[in-house]
Structure 1
Amino acid sequence: MTGLAALGEPYTALAGVYDRWTDPNPYDRWVDFITARLAQAGIGSGARVLDVCCGTGSMAVRLRDRGYQVAGIDGSAAMLGVARDRLGPLVELHQVILPAELPFTPAVFDAAICCFDSVNYLPPSALQGFFATVASALRPGGLFVFDVNSRYKLEEVFGSSQYGDDQGDFAYVWRNRYDPTRGATDFLITLFTRADDGFRREEEQHRQWWFDHDTIRNSANRSGFTTVGATADYTSSEPEPDTLRETWVLRREEPAGRNHH
């Protein structure tokens, strides 16, 4: 097998080393920001929160430990396997390739989150459908907090660069290729993990798109959300031209046509 046919699904090979790879992520600061925004909307401990693209459960376990009722969905069976080991049988986890119908009763969640640039994996044609899927899970007044990598990060930081690192029992080489006509970056990740007879070599290809503010806001509005705010990287600061990560807070509106008694 050669070329793309030899590549594994994203986050299959990475699942086993993902938590160590991403250990520097400020998950606790992200959770502080999210829970503060939820509290401002009257959504406190005990509320039901859906972790969209939950990965290995790093955010879900922190929310659970703060008293929230958490459920998670992710497209990667391998990542969900790690999450199940971490979270145990009492947290509901499902494999879902978004956008798709969710395996939950509609409007059952008080809030949803989608962290660590998972939204950037959506092609532009799928963005509105994604928002509509999340909106269907939220009760009116529920919040959706998510982040996106900025255009600056995809163009200037990732760009068309390559880098790598050796972690002892695993190593990786990361190659980037930015396509300005599509507004997307392709990542080719080569992972070497220790095996009985040396190292095993696996490759994954990832693609991320960037979205401007109007695109996000309009897609969200058409899906039943209003924008509460967009800030820089889980802070209260306005995004700057060189902001790497933007954090959005949306509120689920009352569905049109619902009768009030």
Structure 2
Amino acid sequence: MGVENIYRDFAYIYDKLMYDVDYKEWADYIEKIFQEYEVKPSLIADLGCGTGNFCVEMDKKGYEMIGIDSSLDMLNCAKKKSEGRNILYLNQDMTDFELYGTVDAIVSLMDSINYLTYIKDIKKLLKLVKNYLNPGGLFIFDINTPYKFKNILKDNVFYDVSDEITYVWQNNFDSKRKICEFDITFFVKEGQYYNRYDEVHYERCYEIEELKKVIVSSGMTLVNVYDSMTLNRPLPKSERVFFVCKNGG
């Protein structure tokens, strides 16, 4: 399991499903973290960039962006919305990416890390991050928390009905394997008819302490862990947390 080949038809309706995500808010938050630690990155890599929304928002702020994703369909969508902008997109796996040089900061957002269903893949990613991140540079990523998997996502069904697209999202969380299966069915209006698309995605539930240990063992410095979109410590019922790591002390 992993992130390869799971965003085929899904790529082209991804933005419609993510209509409620404020990417400007995400960009403002990441910039706030930069300011908190008095770093001024110029070149930033976005691992698991998807359809490029975050890259575009950061480009608007004047940052030079590299977007990396294993889905060619996602990147095709990203390139279309980035026309006229100087954003480099690379079709690479986030656990096996290769850059032309080092960067000032690296991010991996929207629970992309949860899509890495083996701890060995996170170790590979951290090794690459350390290799391509300039000394003192920050690596920022977020995860869906164990609380969210066990209490919000677990065995629940979500749906949304509209004229253009309807989806049914059914979850199955295996607490022993710590794997959540997302079984998603879409009905997308194309002309007079609706076409059906089916996707199955997987995310792994990682404990915060588990990831802390992996970060430290990678040689990176764990700077802080924050509750979603804040600079506050996580709460017992936090559904998303952000990790801030530094390359060096």
In structure 2, list runs of 5 or more residues that go unmatched. Answer: none
The residue aligned with 2:27 is 31
Task: Give, in angstroms, the shift of residue 197 of structure 1.
Answer: 5.8
Query: Are the equivalent residues in 2 in contact too, given 1:174–1:189 (CA < 8 A)?
Result: yes
TM-superposed CA distance for 1:77, in Å, is 0.9
Query: 2:105 matched to which residue of 1?
Result: 111
TM-score, length-scaled by structure 1: 0.88
Provide, for residues 133-153 of structure 1, a one-character-per-residue CA deviation record: whole Å limited to 9, x for no partner: 222220110001110000111
2:232 maps to what in 1? 237
Deviations 1:23-67 (A, max 9, x none): 21132222222112213334336x100011001111111111101
Paired with 2:68 and 2:20, the residues of 1 have a C-alpha distance of 23
* 1:183-232 alpha-carbon deviations (Å, 9 max, x no partner): 11100111111234612111111111111122211211222311110011
Q: How does 1:66-77 map to 2 (within 5 A)?
A: 66-77=61-72
**Which stretches in structure 1 are left out of the alignment for 5+ residues?**
1-7, 255-261
Query: How many residue pairs align between the two structures?
Result: 244
Give the equivalent residue in structure 2 for 1:13: 9
Quote the sequence identity (%): 27
Structure whose alpha-carbon radius of gyration is higher: 1
Instruction: Tell me which residue corresponds to 1:158.
Output: 153
Work out the CA distance in 1 between the residues paired with 2:222 and 2:168: 38
Alpha carbons 2:99, 2:132 under 8 Å: kept: no
* Secondary structure in structure 2 of the residue aligned to 1:125: helix
**Matched residue, 1:223:** 218
User: RMSD over aligned Cα, in angstroms?
Assistant: 1.7
Matches within 5 A, 1:1-261: 9-44=5-40, 47-88=42-83, 90-105=86-101, 108-123=102-117, 124-196=119-191, 198-253=193-248
Structure 2 Cα separation of the partners of residues 94 and 225 of structure 1:
24
Q: Distance in 1 between matches of 2:87 and 2:152?
A: 36
Q: Within 2, Cα distance between the matches of 1:20 and 1:201?
A: 15
CA contact (8 A) 2:220 2:248 kept: yes
Moved beyond 6 Å, runs of 4+: none
